[in-house]
Every structure is written in C-alpha cells, then in structure tokens.
Amino acid sequence: MAAYFLRRIGYGVITLLGVLLLLFVLFFAVTDPDDIARKAVGERARPEVYAQWKTNHGYDKPLIINTGATGAGRFTDTLLAEHYRRMLTFDFGRSDADDSPISRRLREGALPSLGITVPLFVMGLVVSVAVALFVAFFRETYIDRVVLVLCMLTMSVAGLLYIIAGQYLVGQLLRWFPISGFDPNPAVVARFLALPVLVGVLSGFGADTRFYRTIFLEEIGRDYVRTARAKGCGDARVMVRHVLRNALIPILTNVVVQIPFLFTGALLLESFFGIPGLGALTVEAIQGNDFSTLRTMVYLGALLFIAGQILTDISYALADPRVRLG
C-alpha cells in the first residue's frame, strides 16, 4: 500500500515539475518581461523606473543561463531557477497589476470562494445523488420521465443564462435574495450565497443526475442486488446499503477530482455575483494582464488537480482493495 502511494506521489511531483516548465515557457519565454514591465508602469515611465519595477518583481534576471555569474550561479541566478524556487516555496511575490502581495490576495479570496464552492459542491452532490437514486428506483415510470425532461432542459441551457435568468427571476421578480453582492459577516453571508449556490446547483443538476442514474441502473442489474432481494432485503436497504456503496468508485472519480477546484473558486458565478473570491481574481488577472497572479492561479490549479488525482487514487485503493493490488 505504501509503495503504491509513494509511486503515485512520485508521478505527481514529476507532472508538477513539468507544469512549472510549461508555465515558464508561457509566462517568461513567450511573454517578454520588458513588455510586462511597460504595461505595469506605463509607456512613458523612465528606464530607471522600469528597471526598479523589474527588480522588485523578479523579472531582472537572465532567462536560463546567467553569463554574468560564475559557478552554480550561472544556473541558479536566473529567471528559471527563481521561478521554480518561488513556486515550490509558495513565495508568489507581488501582483504585476497593483503591487499587492499575491499571498494576501489568496488569503482574502479563499474564504469567499470556499463559501460558494463548498455548499455548491455538497448540495449539488447530495441533490444529484438523491434524485438519481430516486429515479433509478422509479425507473421507467412517470417520475423517471419527468426528471429526464428536467435534466435535458437544464443540460441544454448555457451556464451564463442560468446566472442572468436567476438574477432576474429570483433577485428582481421574486425578490427573495440580493441580485449580487457579498458581506463576510457570518450572520448575513448566507443571503448573498443562496442565489449563486442555487444557480450553480441547477446548472449542474442535469448532467450529474443523468450520470449517477446510469451508474445506479448498472448496479441495480447486477447479481448481488438480485441475491439481496432474494434474501428479503428491503428496497431502501438495497438502494442505500448495496447499490450506492457499490457505485462509489465512479462517483468518487467524479467527485474527488472536483474537490481541489473548490479552492480556485467559481469564475463566472463570482464575477457575476460580485463575490470577491479566487475565481473573480483569476478573471481579473486575465483581463488585466496580471501575469504574476495568473501564473500563481494556474500553478495552484495544476497543483490541486494533481493532488486531486492522487487523492482519487488513494480513495480507490481504500474503497476497492483490488486497485492497490493491480
């Protein structure tokens, strides 16, 4: 078991180093640091100001080989080495756009992001799994067909439309929740998160429910279900104790991969609902050519994805002993 975990972690580390190399090519080799500096301090700033800005933001070194240095410094005193050092030690530096420390922005944005993504994830999962179990049980009845129509409807609508329609319908016509906004005060924060969570759950409902229903139907047709029923096991017990448990592997595959992205926020939802989370931060970094923040977000996304993959593998091994033997 330990060897299995170590092997998986080893693969993850190698992938991460590769991602960092790709990031370096995209953000340093393709994008000229001089252009980044010019964009940040303005076209008409003096050369000394450019130079100072580049020094402050760590863009003042040669890319891969420092011909001005000697010994190991030729390779360690470079942008490439600095890039690896900073990312691996989580020293993300300052935003190219407004000079604010990126770590602080991450700290400030993490809670609002989790505030929306965690309830969205949990509620989405619970609702989809529950409805999928329900319709799997009542398969080929009017309930199954009604839910099928609902699922197809929700799958056919673009994500952005959910947001705009949700804001219009729930915020403006029914006036149940604020159209947008955020207040970190725990006493009132739920009022601001309710609508984005509702919209998020609804937009993901169709695809998830259909996926889980398929899994459950596959399990329901298996021999062990017939055996359980033959032994007098009740329907509820069969569905929850046997079908649900045996369907865990594909559910885990779908679920665990999503967990790391809870930390990177919801791009559209945060942007439209005015939630100051990491998703909105990423959108803003893209729009504002804030390369250092964008680099950090891409790196964290990759890191969390790799972590998610490792977690999935571990959860497989825990859920199904055959995996670790394979």
Partner 1 sequence: MRSHSAAMALLAALAAGVAAAGCTNNPYPQADRDKKVLYSSFHDAPKTLDPAVAYTTAEHVITGNVYDTLLEYHYLARPYRLIPGLAVSVPKGQDLPDGRQTYRFQLRPGVLFHPDPCFPPDATGRRTREVTAADLAFALARIADPAVNSPVIGSFAQIEGFADFSKRLEDLRRSDKAFAALPIREQYAKAGGIAGVLVHGGHELQIVLSQANAQILYWFAMPFTTPVAWEAVAAYDGKDGRDSFADHAVGTGPYRLALYEKQFRFSLARNELWYGTLSTNSDAPGAVFPTEIDPKDSIEGRIDPAYAGRRLPFVDRVTFYREREGIPQFNKLLEGYYDDGGIIKESFDAVIQNGRLSPAMRARGMRLDVTVEPSIFYVGFNMEDPVVGTPAGERGRKLRQAMSVAVDSRQYLELFLNGRGLPAQTLLPPEIFGYDSSYKNPFRQYDVERARQILADAGYKNGIDAATGNRLKLSFDTSATTAAASLQFEYLANSWRQIGIDVEINATTYNQFQDKVRHGAYQIFSWGWLADFPDPENFLFLLACENARSKNGGPNTASFCNAEFDSLYHQMKYLPNNARRADLIRRMLAILERERPWIELYHLEEFVLSHAWLVNSKPMGISYPAYKYKDVRPELRARLQGEWNAPLRWPLYLVLCAIVALTVPAVRTYYRERL
What is the contact surface with partner 1 in residues (CB under 8 A)? 32, 35, 38-39, 41-46, 48-49, 52, 97-100, 105, 108-109, 134, 137-138, 141, 143, 146, 164, 167-168, 171-183, 188, 191-192, 194, 234-235, 271-274, 276, 280-281, 283-284, 289
The residue count of the chain comes to: 326
In this complex, which beta carbon is closest to partner 1, that of residue 11 or of residue 138? 138
The DSSP element (H or E) to which 165 belongs, if any, is helix 159-166
Distance CA 189, CA 118 (A): 14
In the 8-state DSSP scheme, what is residue 244?
A: I
In this complex, which beta carbon is closest to partner 1, that of residue 150 or of residue 257? 150
In this complex, which beta carbon is closest to partner 1, that of residue 46 or of residue 322? 46
In this complex, which beta carbon is closest to partner 1, that of residue 65 or of residue 169? 169
Q: How far is the CB of 250 from partner 1 (least distance, A)?
A: 25
Q: How far is the CB of 63 from partner 1 (least distance, A)?
A: 17
Task: Name beta bridge partners: 94.
Answer: 101
| Residues 195 and 273: beta-carbon distance below 8 Å | yes
Q: How far is the CB of 236 from partner 1 (least distance, A)?
A: 9
Distance CA 49, CA 57 (A): 12
Q: How far is the CB of 188 from partner 1 (least distance, A)?
A: 7
What number of other Cβ atoms are within 10 A of residue 170's Cβ?
18
Q: How far is the CB of 310 from partner 1 (least distance, A)?
A: 32
Q: How far is the CB of 110 from partner 1 (least distance, A)?
A: 13
Sequence-separated (6 or more) residues with CB below 8 Å from residue 173? none
* Closest C-alpha among 284, 235, 238, 278 to residue 260: 278
In this complex, which beta carbon is closest to partner 1, that of residue 19 or of residue 97? 97
In this complex, which beta carbon is closest to partner 1, that of residue 59 or of residue 192? 192
Q: What's the first-to-final CA gap in the chain, in angstroms?
A: 11
Task: Name beta bridge partners: 101.
Answer: 94
Distance CA 122, CA 129 (A): 11
| Residues 112 and 260: beta-carbon distance below 8 Å | no
